[in-house]
Structure formats: C-alpha cells, structure tokens
Structure 1
Amino acid sequence: MSLSRKRRKELTKLRKSADELWGHQQQVMDHANAVAREAGRQAGNLTREEVVPRVREGYEHYVLPGVHGAQDLAADVRRRLVGEVLPGIGNGLGTAIGSVMSVGDIARDARVRAALNRFQFQKPVVAEKKSAGAGTYIALGIGIAAAVGVAYAVWQTFRADDELWVADDEFDALSGKAEA
C-alpha cells in the first residue's frame, strides 16, 4: 500500500510523539519506584523508632503482669491440689474401699445369709389403672357446658352494643317532643 507524502509525515510525527510519550512514562515510573522505595524505608524507620517501643511497652505494662498472675495462680492451684485435695481424696478413697470390702464381708457371713433366707420376698403388687367410666364423661360435659354458659354471659355483658342505649335528647328528637 502506498501512502501519500502528507500521510507519511503525519505517521512519522505521530510515531515521534508516541516515542516521546513512552519516554515520559518511563521517567514517571522510575520516579514512582524511587518514591515507593523511600516510603518503604521511612515506614521501616518509623516502625523501628515508634511502633516497636510502644508495642513492647504495652506488652510489658498490660500483658506481662497478667501472664505472671496466671502463672502464680496456676502454681497455687497445683500446690493446693497436690498438698490438700489429693491426700483428702486418697483418704476418702481408702475409706470408701474399706467400707465396700466390709459390706462384702458382712454379705458373706453365714449368720446374715441365714437371716435373709428366713424372709420370703414377694413381688410388689401394682394396681392396674382403671379407665374412665360414663360418669366421668357426663361430668366433663356438664363442666364444659357451664364454662360455655359463663363465657357467653360475660360476652353479653361486656360487648359494645350502642343500639341498646338511646340518649334522652335523641329520643325526644325522634318522637318530635320538645324539651321543657
């Protein structure tokens, strides 16, 4: 394809502008990288000089006393558990085991077996549950009817019935009589 001289000049000019723009963009990117490196270096300095000492001070002031308190509490619990609770459990456990063994000895004693053989054990008699009879259903029906009647009477008493009450002045106006 052949281009006119005018078009070639325009394309050459456009190519030069694009190359110039590309160079400017490269300079801007280099400058942005330099600024980012300096910002990272300053952030590291700030962290080293300001943040780390404050974090260390907060740790020593707030966290470390709590840790030492928890360690002291754990040591006290351990000391009491080993010194007071476990010996008590051991004594109680020995007493319980001794009691169980003595009950076993008593159960094996011939005199106790002879006394138990004298008793005749019977199964307990469990009374059978009776079903509801006709009287129960009649009483239940009468109770429900009475409750419904009471509910209806209360409803009749408290319902808003504006037609039952007529004011005197309305009655006089309807009947055509004048008030004195």
Structure 2
Amino acid sequence: MSLSRKRKKELRKLQTQANSLWETQQVLVGEAASVAREAGRQLGHLHREEVRPRVAAGYEAYAAPYVDKGKRVVNDTVIPAAGAVMGSALSVWDAANDTRARLASGRGIDLPASWRKAPPAPVKSGIGAGGVIAIILGVAAAIGVLYAAWQTLRADDELWVADDPLRAPDA
C-alpha cells in the first residue's frame, strides 16, 4: 500500500506532534515525582514535629498509668499465682508417679499374687497433637511461600515501564 506525499507529510507532522506531547508528558511526570518526594519529606517532618509528640503526650497522660498498673498486677499477682499452681501440679504429678511405681513393684499395697500381673504395654495409635500442629504449620508455611512466589511472578500490566521514556510509542 503506497501513501500519497500529502498523507506521508500529514503522518510525519502527526508523529512529530505525538513525540512533542510525549516529551512534555515525561517532563510533567518528572516534576510530579519531585513534588511527591517533597510532600513525603514534609509529611515526615510534620510527623516528627507535631504528631509524635502529641501521641506521646496523650499516651503518657491517659494510657501509661493503666499500662503500669497492669504490669504491676501481672508481675505481683498473676506470675506468682501461676508459679504456685504449676508447682502444686508438678508435686501432685510426682507423688502420683511415685505411688504408681511403688504399686507396680509390689512395695505398695500387698495384693494377692493372682491380682498381680504386668500392666499392658501402651499402644500408640496414630500421630499426636504435636504431629498435627507440625503438619498444620508446615502446610501454612508452604502456602505462604507459594503465595509470595505467585505475587512476585504474576504479570501485572500496571507495573510496565517503557524502555525509552522520552521516545513516543509508534502509532
């Protein structure tokens, strides 16, 4: 297909206008990026100079007394009580194990010989709670890795960047 000289001239003129517009847009985008950077810097200054001190003052005035009181309650009441409960539970467990061992060896209650027999060996059936938790955590970790890989490798058209930013695309 051959174009007339008039059409070729019009197309060249249109291409020149498109290139000029493209260059102008690139300059405008550059200026917008510098304005956005400066706005980010100013926002950081505002945060450091205004927001952070007000939040800290509000925390000290309203929340800090309750947080300190909560820490004192936990350190002075909850932790000692939990330690006492755990110590009692372990003492009971130890006493039960000792009694069971004495009974099994025949040093405890004097049982007739016909009643004494070896306890049956414990039968392990399937995986325990720890195995189930380990499997769940492993599956969750694998899903997380696959999701991260998918997010990294997926095609995203909005993230496309031109090779030559000052050159207009061919029409």
**TM-score normalised by structure 2 residue count:** 0.43
Q: Which has the higher contact order (CA 8 A, sep 6+)?
A: 2
Higher helix share goes to which structure? Answer: 1
Larger radius of gyration: 1
